[in-house]
Amino acid sequence: MLFREVPGLDALKETLIQSVTSQHVAHAQLFHGPSGSGNLALALAYATYLNCEDRQANDACGRCASCVKMQKLAHPDVHHIFPVAITKKIKDNESDAYMPLWREFVAAQPFGTLSDWLTFIGVEGNRQGNISAEEARNVIRKISLKAYEGEYKILILWQPELLNVYSANALLKILEEPPAKTIFLLVCTDANRLLTTIISRTQRVGVPAFTEEEVSRYLQEKAGTEEKRARHLSYLAEGNLGYALQLAQGEGNDDQPWFAQWMRHCYRGVPAFGDLIKLADEFDTQPKEQQKSLMEYSLNLFRDLMLWQNDAQELVRLDGEELTFVQNFSKVIPPERIPLITEELNAAFFHLERNVRAKMIFMDLSLTLARLMRK
């Protein structure tokens, strides 16, 4: 990944390049940006620039041996940690076992999310991605070795918010006192979930969401999307380039039909009790990340519903069936109940993350929503 392959963010790129040319490279940096932003792509481009053998004024050369290896994510001095989960094909819980798949994923979806990654590797059931303490200890051993080829040894840690207390503590010491010429690049989407001890040992690199113009231009140049459609998709994506690419490829969001059916059953209340039980059984069989994705999607839809009810339609970035759903449901749900509904959805998300039985969460949530939706 090169800086020129990441759309926009010119000022941030210049700051990163300047830190290298002035030899003021912080040993631990936190690339924090929302889902679908350029945080991972930017960290990879920065790592490429750090070890480039022929650095240019605005980018790595892209031709030297180091750049070629970085393009393949095969540089011996650049180590990767990312969340993994046991699948049918891979029974290991360390990143090295998933590196071939990681290379494919980054090449295909450089702006992808954790859910995209777990789907890509074939995670099923209630398994969630995690970073084990043993993984952290193994990387410490690797980082402690002398660099093979590059000027810097680099660790790229994607989704550090999934470090548990034990794995985070395993990294803290080396973050505080790293070996010479060792750089840690942590790439996260939710800094609020990071341990404060991790945050305090890193230099924050805030990566903003892409602008609509940047997303539109990227869709036209990289995905071959017609200009009018690219502008429309960039508006809907709200700066999430990964989601915009999915829309451009016709993948869309599979949560919408399921969510709409769920809400209709909740609104019907007692007569739909049997249907809600069936949906609870179905929800229970979905992968954990898909369950959480549905809760996040529900929260976003109720946010848009609230905006619609308060005459802020210009802020609602929906079209098609999603827009129709918001328009229709806004007529039947009391506005004062929306904050209560979102509170219940947030609570359900919280319990899902802590591995409470999904079927129980869903059924309790459905009955509560059924009560709240009625006038």
Over the chain (375 residues), the average pLDDT of each successive run of 10 is 92 95 92 93 96 93 94 92 83 85 93 88 76 79 75 91 80 80 92 85 92 91 86 82 83 72 89 91 83 84 87 76 84 88 92 87 93 80
Contact 207, 38 (CB under 8 A): yes
Enter the pTM of the model: 0.78
Which two structure tokens, joined as six digits, stand for 255?
């949560």
Per DSSP, 238 falls in state: T
- How many helices (H) and strands (E) would you count in the chain? 17, 5
Which pLDDT score is estimated for 375?
61
Which pLDDT score is estimated for 168?
80
Query: Can you say how many angstroms the Cα of residue 83 is from the centroid of all Cα atoms in its chain?
Result: 11
Contact 170, 133 (CB under 8 A): yes
Residue type, 347: A
Contact 145, 72 (CB under 8 A): no
The Cα angle at residue 183 between residues 181 and 187, in degrees rounded to 5: 175
Q: How far apart are CA 106 and CA 91, in angstroms?
A: 21
Separation in Å, CA 207 to CA 28, 34, 175, 240: 16, 8, 22, 12
Which pLDDT score is estimated for 251?
58
**Phi-psi category of residue 311: left, alpha or beta, with phi > 0 → left and psi -120 to 50 → alpha:** left
Neighbours of 309 (CB within 10 A): 17
Contact 5, 41 (CB under 8 A): yes
Residue ranges of E strands in the chain? 28-32, 78-81, 153-158, 182-188, 203-206
- 123-127, Cβ contacts within 8 angstroms, sequence gap of 24 or more: 123/85, 123/87, 123/287, 123/289, 124/87, 124/88, 124/287, 125/285, 125/287, 125/288, 126/287, 126/288, 126/355, 126/358, 127/85, 127/86, 127/287, 127/288
Using CB atoms within 10 A of its CB, is residue 313 exposed (0-12), middle (13-18) or buried (19+)? Answer: middle
Contact 354, 288 (CB under 8 A): no
